[in-house]
Amino acid sequence: MRFDTALITGASSGIGEEFGHQLAPLCRRLVLVARRRSRMLDLARNLRGAYPGLDVHVFEADLADDQSLEALVSGLAMQGLVPDLLVNNAGLGDYGEFATARWDRIEEMLRVNIRALTRLCHSVVPAMKELGGGSIINVSSLASILPMPDFAVYAATKAYVTSFSEALRLEVKGHGIRVL
């Protein structure tokens, strides 16, 4: 399968970086999104060197921040970047008892793992419908199917990702949009 434009969140390291390497030969354009601009610039440089002609865009964004998230969505629209593949990979986890966890850390996890993922899906699905198809990969976790002490909020956010993705898949499959 080939894609015109793939957008990858959490692209500066780990699984997100690997998505970049794996998708580069399958895309005309890659959009890398993460907080660490310098790491994304290094990745973009490496991918352009390995795949001449690949168009790589870098967006520095903190998906826990509403203004940064909305700036990303509007920036994509302003540049005419319409993903036919969205990889929602960005995510946060935290370990420890819920009762003693810092609220700001819990809220940040909810914003990235649930709100940003949902907002980005909401921003691309209408365009994918117009294109006649597309694909969305929402990275979840085995934690989504297990209640996990000391990972209560993380596991719950990943349960949301799994449930949301399964429901969205059913809603959009008639439009040629695949959701994983």
Tokens coding 165: 């993705």
Q: Which residue of the set 51, 95, 154, 160 is catalytic?
A: 154
C-alpha triplet 173, 29, 39: angle, nearest 5°: 110
**Is there a contact between 85 and 3 (Cβ–Cβ < 8 Å)?**
yes
d(CA 72, CA 70): 5
- Say whether 154 is catalytic: yes
Please classify residue 8 by burial: count the beta carbons closer than 10 Å to its beta carbon, then call 0-12 exposed, 13-18 middle and 19+ buried. Answer: buried
**Is there a contact between 127 and 76 (Cβ–Cβ < 8 Å)?**
no
Between the two ends of the chain, the Cα-to-Cα distance in Å is: 15
- List, in order, residues 6 or more apart from 7 with CB less than 8 Å away: 31, 33, 76, 81, 83, 85, 86, 87, 120, 124
The catalytic residues are: 154
